[in-house]
Structure 1
Amino acid sequence: MKITAIRCQRLRLKQEVASQPSWLSESVIANPMSIYPRYAARRSSWTAPFGGLAVIIETDEGIEGLATADGGEAVQIIIEQHFARLLVGEDPTDIERLWDQMFRASTPYGRKGLSMFAISAVDCALWDIFGKALKQPVYRLLGGATKEDMPVYETTNDRVDWDNHEFFGVKLAMPYGPADGREGLLKNRDLVKECRQLIGDKRDIMLDCYMAWDVEYTIRMIDLVEPYAVRWIEEALPPDNIQGYEKLARYTGPVALATGEHEYSRWGHRDLLATGAISVFQPDINWVGGISETRKICAMASAWGLIVVPHAGGLQAAGLHLMKSQVNCPFAEWVRTWNRDAGRPAAAILGVPDPEHGRIRPSEEAGLGISLNQDVLDLT
């Protein structure tokens, strides 16, 4: 089998089925730009206007691989104008070699960011082809099932969602950071306190800080939330603040630190591991380098007794297959990104299951089990 073509399709929904803006982008949530008042109110005021892509790899045996990518036109250019030269004519099951060639070829402009978005999508599409060729779901090619399904926690600041006891935990998006002073500290604490009072003692609470805090602020927050049995504090620091994590390694007490969402490749996670601070790795399979790279990160973490909880893994077909195949991926994150009042929007990609009774599992279809929902896509 040989690759004959690789192409990208923009995932724009038709206007009549497009979703409303998400609470994640439109509500007050601490982020790296929160120190600037003009951009503090919502993420959509500063985030890049990139859309999603479908990446389709065609073969001479009629099998197509499908995956999704962030990064819009910029990633499309990398895939179609650069990586296609390395892929067309190659055996799509030589995944490890093709990954290495894409990474080496993009080193002059890559190693992190958009180039890794592109590698991630191609890698996942290659695994999709491999599974379809062997008529097996991808998780079986990764070593088989280590569990039937995964329990789920939900990331949400919606009080109505907190009351869903099917999910074993709640992750709160922290609204405030250092620019908000002590008042912000106390408001963050009160949010955690309110959540604990509502959900009781038997469920977990985690805190997502989205790279917004610094070392001093994180230490103060650890002290404030310790009475509420917080399981972990996530992405407290920008990913390049390695020395900051080394300092936090000496002060976390009973609250674990988690990070990795905005880190790239096994080498970036190696550097985080070396700080001694991190208890939970959270690579995003669509950004870190795809299934192949996330599997290496899981192996590295296992040698140190760490768990891996991929960022938004419960929303990603590739994430579900990876987690089912790895012993140290015990549970999944799930996020309701749509406006509850408007109802769930149409999906551009079909085949990614939702949790059932607080648990989730990948499709049993061959490959990743996903397809394009052409009926709702704007192809103009």
Structure 2
Amino acid sequence: MSARIRSVEAMQVAWAPGDAPGRRSAFVRIETEDGIVGWGEASPMQGGLHSLGIVERDLAPALVGRDAFEEAVLHDELLHRNIKLGPEGALTGALAAVDIALWDIKGKALGLPVHRLLGGAWRTELPFYASIGGHAARTLDETVRVVEARWRQETPAAIKIRWDGDRTRQDADIPGDIAKARAVRQLVGEGYPLAFDANNGYSVGGAIRVGRALEELGYVWFEEPVQHYDVRGMGEVAQRLDITVSAAEQTYTTQALVDIIRAGVRMVQPDIVKMGGITGLMRCAAICHAHGVELVPHQTQPTIAHVANLHVLATLMHLTKPAEYADPSGRMDAAFPDLPKPENGRFRVPDGPGLGLAVDESVLRAHR
């Protein structure tokens, strides 16, 4: 058996004519000399073109001929060889796509699912929370209507309402935001787990005001209340509120993760397609375990990244929150015929070799 890499292909996929870049997917296909194909995914920010460009120009030439089983060596070698491109953002997104594909190859070559390669699964099914975005632009009634539709259709274990507002403005409508949070609480009842994602929309003072209201309403966590780069401010909000404050969706290195933990954040949410893939996220898990911090990965991509994330979550001993399931549309299902489907608020972790995900390449290439 040869695990030598023969080819690396980066592709952007548009699922419908006229798709805006943010609605496209950024995939990487790696094939070994024995014909084993692994699939990975990068963050789709701006269509993923920055990460895909790095894969094509800077990573692929260095990967051809290398051993696909040496994912950790390749991860760190390529990170440091291209360190001046980042290391945050596009580079770690590119490394994530490559890393996920290499784990997929290793599992297929050995006939084992990724979660077994990572040390074994504590669970074969995972509860999920419905991550529902776009509420900054909605009225109160529209917010309730959209949340209710997802709640009743999917029966998730929890719900997170996301604002997705204008990041150049702070504290734009605090009374309106609190009113929407209160209306969603009234919709689902007192005991149902709710979370609030501010998408970096508040000043420190504004975040504390909103956080106090969320505490009274019984929300479980308050996500990214201030700008992600204001690590000290994020830590101040976390330390002054009783509600759990989460952050690190936009954290790209393990060193930056440690910085935000030291600032006082006790629930972190690195993303598998931004934080160096499976290898990167497993390193985050070790850091969180050592610091006694909750790891609840951010994850919004419904296909390759979603499945890779499920494999990692299955291996975590202390999994304190459900997995994220964001704004599904079904547009991508034709390319992934056996994609795990939500059922009774849970996802089953695939048990086939590698990621355990079939890929219809003809569909991908038709939408490339």
TM-score (norm 2): 0.86
* Unmatched tracts of structure 1, length 5 or more: 22-43, 339-343
Partner of 1:328: 318
Separation in 2 of the partners of 1:268 and 1:225? Answer: 27
Which residue of the other structure, out of 302, 308, 312, is the alignment partner of 1:318?
308
- Contact 1:306/1:328, CA 8 A, preserved across alignment: no
Q: What code does the residue aligned with 1:128 have?
A: D
Structure-to-structure mapping, 1:345-360, within 5 angstroms: 345-347=331-333, 348-360=335-347
Which residue of the other structure, out of 244, 263, 272, is the alignment partner of 1:256?
244
- Contact 2:126/2:347, CA 8 A, preserved across alignment: yes
Partner of 2:137: none
Equivalenced residue count is 343
Partner of 2:88: 112
Separation in 1 of the partners of 2:331 and 2:22? Answer: 20
- Contact 2:154/2:342, CA 8 A, preserved across alignment: no
Separation in 2 of the partners of 1:179 and 1:59? Answer: 48
- Contact 1:211/1:235, CA 8 A, preserved across alignment: yes
Partner of 1:305: 292
Which residue of the other structure, out of 212, 228, 242, is the alignment partner of 2:231?
242
Q: Does 1:370 align with 2:357?
A: yes
Which residue of the other structure, out of 188, 191, 198, is the alignment partner of 1:209?
198
Partner of 1:10: 12
* Unmatched tracts of structure 2, length 5 or more: 133-142
Separation in 1 of the partners of 2:170 and 2:250? Answer: 24
Partner of 1:54: 27
Q: Deviations over 1:239-258 (max 9, x none)?
A: 210110232233112x1101
Q: Cα–Cα, structure 1 residues 50 and 81, in superposed 2: closer, same or farther, change >3 Å?
A: farther
Partner of 1:231: 220
TM-score (norm 1): 0.84
Partner of 1:269: 257
Q: Deviations over 1:51-104 (max 9, x none)?
A: 422211111111111112235333222112211222111110011100011110
- Contact 2:197/2:222, CA 8 A, preserved across alignment: yes
SS in 1 for 2:84: coil
Q: What code does the residue aligned with 1:322 have?
A: V
SS in 2 for 1:250: helix
Q: What code does the residue aligned with 1:58 have?
A: E
Q: Return 107-116 or 322-331, whichever deviates more.
A: 322-331
Structure-to-structure mapping, 1:285-304, within 5 angstroms: 285-304=272-291
Q: Cα–Cα, structure 1 residues 375 and 96, in superposed 2: closer, same or farther, change >3 Å?
A: closer
1:336 is displaced (CA, Å) by: 2.4
Separation in 1 of the partners of 2:261 and 2:161? Answer: 24
Partner of 1:92: 68
- Give the fraction of aligned pairs with identical amino acids, expressed as a percent: 28
RMSD: 2.4
1:195 is displaced (CA, Å) by: 1.2
Partner of 1:36: none
Separation in 2 of the partners of 1:135 and 1:68? Answer: 21
Q: Deviations over 1:152-190 (max 9, x none)?
A: 1111251322345832211111376895758x2111111
Q: Cα–Cα, structure 1 residues 139 and 371, in superposed 2: closer, same or farther, change >3 Å?
A: same
Separation in 1 of the partners of 2:93 and 2:257? Answer: 16
